[in-house]
Structure 1
Amino acid sequence: MKYFALLLAMGTLAACDRNDSSNDKEQRTASEEGSEVSDPRDLLKFTEAQGSVPSLPKALDMLSVQLALDRLGFSPGVLDGKNGESLKLALKGFQKASGLEETGALDEATMAALAKVNVTAPTRLVRIPAMFANQTFYPDFPADAAAQAKLPALGYRSLMEALAERFHTTPETLLALNSRDTQIGADKIIVVPNLPDVSPPSAELSARGWDMTLLSLGVAAEQPDIESIIVDKSEGWLRTVDGEGKTIGQFPVTTGSSHDPLPIGNWTVKGVARNPEFHYNPKLFWDVSDSKEKQLLKPGPNGPVGVVWIDLSKPHYGIHGTGEPSTIGRAESHGCVRLTNWDAARVAGMVKPGTKVVFQK
């Protein structure tokens, strides 16, 4: 994510956005110093903070609608409060699932159906947990795969980037929600989109740190069971369908390019790799010289496939996350189906080996 110019514009909003292990002890809260934590995952909880929440900027007036759709499983992509194509796509998916006319408009019938989700306020005031703030960041994250292979993990560039993913939004939106006097860092208070908290995942999801990844993305471990996935190339969505043929979720996607078109047809899920390493093979990329060497890239949200890879029966093709959530539906991929990291994590919780996957025009 290319946030360097944005961070320069943020003034003191990013003043505490640094990873300095020498300050770890100073940044711990009194509660962390004085008591033992029964479950370390509780240290990733964003607790409610006291104080008045600023009024929502007019430019973000669709945030409550986006939040309702996100909670119902009809993702608008990033929660940016804008009435754009991604919101229209999410509304159409929700309308189809609700038996309404698929207009993509926020008409009275759609508003009534969305009212089942009680979004009491579009934003909330939270305290940033020290464990979240003090993770290792990579501000000079390289673009070259060979340089990335030297990193111990393909983590976030900054705390601002990590916060944006946690609350399914963008750094620009966080900037708009907060004053320029706001500082971010351990135990600091910040205004964020009003996403509900999720319960800590069960112990069996701790392999490769997946439980911590879910908490860091604000994604619930429990997801509905599905029988199939449908990906529509022309519309740019992925829908999850239950055993009765009902659409229970929809997510915006990027699907292939003119060089690597989406392989139209019927496939199946072979398996799911959570927090996967990535075997970088230049020969599989049309825009990379074959003279480049193969690389093994460590896991991380900024890796080529984000936090999850859903392997398909079509060789070398999968459904996966991305380190560039704002580009979903607006950029090309190398043939695979790409979602935001949080949406990819949701879909990963729905599928199992044998789940049907349909790629259609």
Structure 2
Amino acid sequence: MRLPVYASFLLATHLLTAQIPIAVPVPEETILRAEPVLPKAPEPVEEILRLQIYLDTQLFGPGKVDGRPGEFTSKALHRHQRALGQPPTDIFNHTLDLTGIGQTYTTYTLRQEDLKFVGELPSQPSAQSKKKYLPYDSVLEFLTERFHCSPDLLEFINQPLKMSALKPGDVVKVPNVQPFLIEELTPLPSLPEVPAFLTRVIKIDTREKILELHEGEKLLASLPITPGSGYLATPPGTWRIVGITQMPTFRWDKSVLEYGVRSGTYYNLPPGPNNPVGVMWIGLSKPGIGIHGTNSPQTIGRSSSHGCMRTANWDVVRLAKQLTKGMTVIIEGEAPVPRPVVKAKPVVEEAPPAEPEAPQKKFRWFWQKRE
């Protein structure tokens, strides 16, 4: 049935002004998955955990593996995507192929020989200097470093097992990463030089707290670091690697740590995973400055150092295998803040107070009365 012209006009007007949803074709690549609601910490998110394990395997370090979203997971993802020529995305919308990871978890059986790396760890440098080795202070610390993860994650996924009561033979659930094998590290004053690596360049942005390894235009790796700040900020500039030492000793000097000046009061701390510079020292041509491991991997990127650049032991060991003496290191960031010059107040020497005079005896004639 044909409508009158006026009726047709009214119907067309209504259709134009009515709130009628219109289906518009949307390119598939623009459809983003909604971010899932995160469970209460420290419960890991499987999707994030799998991504962290993958990035860690590729030496694009997300920091500690914990299955939670965070700054360094995002930074590692973006740098790996850049290395692959992909556009950056958030952690829930990447297109990386993670099928090679397999299972996100594996198991580890605690061995009797593992316990020789765990022991008493004094807190004071004076007491530490008297030991031959600075071990892990607990089995939990041993496991978190071996499997690159946070203590909260291990404790959560192993409930109701008590991490403080572990003994040889106990089986624990752990992230499926390449284990950090402390037992394979022996003291080496200088790692072998690899001439083929001389064209590689380390670039460090202390503001981003990220170390990148480049070979020409290719980005090979990136790791989170803790740089110095304030008076002890990591000095920007172009330097060279002058040596790489495995399982170093450390000269602990409070004056150097606080003011950058050597003093005669110091302690030589022995090697071990809890040495302040960790298990690897990559010295630079800037005296006293280097890239090194740490005894506090859980704080990487979230605290400050005394001028050097520290990263997790599990990262620095793998990084050192990609470096050689003579390589260029470019550091960008804020220069150290000048220390305020404190002018000493002039000392005015006051004259010592006069000693009181001894009272003089008053002369009296024999007929005078005593007062």
Give the TM-score of the pair, scaled to structure 1.
Answer: 0.72
**Aligned pairs for 1:216-255 within 5 A:** 225=197, 227-242=200-215, 244-255=216-227
Maintained 8 Å contact 2:44/2:66? no
The runs of 4+ residues in structure 1 deviating greater than 3 Å are 57-60, 196-201, 287-292
Return 230-239 or 276-285, whichever deviates more. 276-285
Partner of residue 44, structure 2: 59
Superposition pairs of residues 248-263 of structure 1, within 5 angstroms: 248-263=220-235
Please, what is the CA RMSD of the aligned residues? Answer: 2.9
Instruction: Name which of structure 1's ranges 93-102 and 80-89 shifts more when overlaid on structure 2.
Output: 93-102
> Aligned to 1:125, which of 107, 110, 119?
107
Q: Is 2:108–2:172's contact at 8 Å kept on the other side of the alignment?
A: yes
| Paired position in structure 2 for 1:208 | 187
Cα distance in 2, alignment partners of residues 191 and 330 from structure 1? 27
**Superimposed CA distance per residue, residues 196-236 of structure 1 (whole angstroms, 9 cap, x where no aligned partner):** 468999xxx875289xxxxxxxxxxx9x9571111111111
For residues 87 and 228 of structure 1, the distance between their equivalents in structure 2, rounded to whole angstroms, comes to 23
Task: Pick one of 87, 94, 104 that aligns with 2:80.
Answer: 94
Given the superposition, is the C-alpha separation of residues 191 and 317 from structure 1 closer, same or farther in structure 2, using an over 3 Å criterion? same
What secondary structure sits across from 1:259 in the alignment? helix
Cα separation, partners in 2 of 1:114 and 1:323, compared to 1, 3 Å: farther
Aligned to 2:254: 282
Aligned residue number for residue 154 of structure 1: 134
Q: 2:152 aligns with which of 146, 154, 172?
A: 172
Match in the other structure for 1:73: 59
Per-residue CA deviations over 1:141-165 (Å, capped at 9, x if unaligned) read: 2332112111221110011100110
Q: Take 1:245 and 1:274, find their aligned partners in 2: how far apart are those partners?
A: 29
Q: Which has the larger radius of gyration?
A: 2
The alpha-carbon distance between structure 1 residues 290 and 143, as it changes in their structure 2 partners (threshold 3 A), is farther
- Are the structure 2 counterparts of residues 237 and 200 from structure 1 closer, same or farther at C-alpha, using a change threshold of 3 Å? closer
**Structure 1 residue 97: deviation in Å?**
0.9
Going from structure 1 to structure 2, the CA distance change for 1:171 and 1:284 (only over 3 Å counts) comes to: same
Separation in 2, partners of 1:170, 1:59: 11
Gaps of 5+ in 1: 1-56, 211-221
Identity %: 32
Q: 1:209 to 1:351 in 2, by over 3 A?
A: closer
| Shift in alpha-carbon separation, 1:82–1:128, aligned structure 2, 3 A | same
**Which deviates further from its counterpart, 331-340 or 288-297?**
288-297
1:190 aligns with 2:169: no
TM-aligned CA deviation for residue 167 of structure 1:
0.3
State the SS of the aligned residue for 2:212: strand
Partners in 2 of 1:301 and 1:265 — Cα distance?
30
TM-score (norm. length: structure 2): 0.70
Residue 231 of structure 1 aligns to a residue whose secondary structure is strand
Structure 2: segments with no counterpart, 5+ residues: 1-41, 334-371
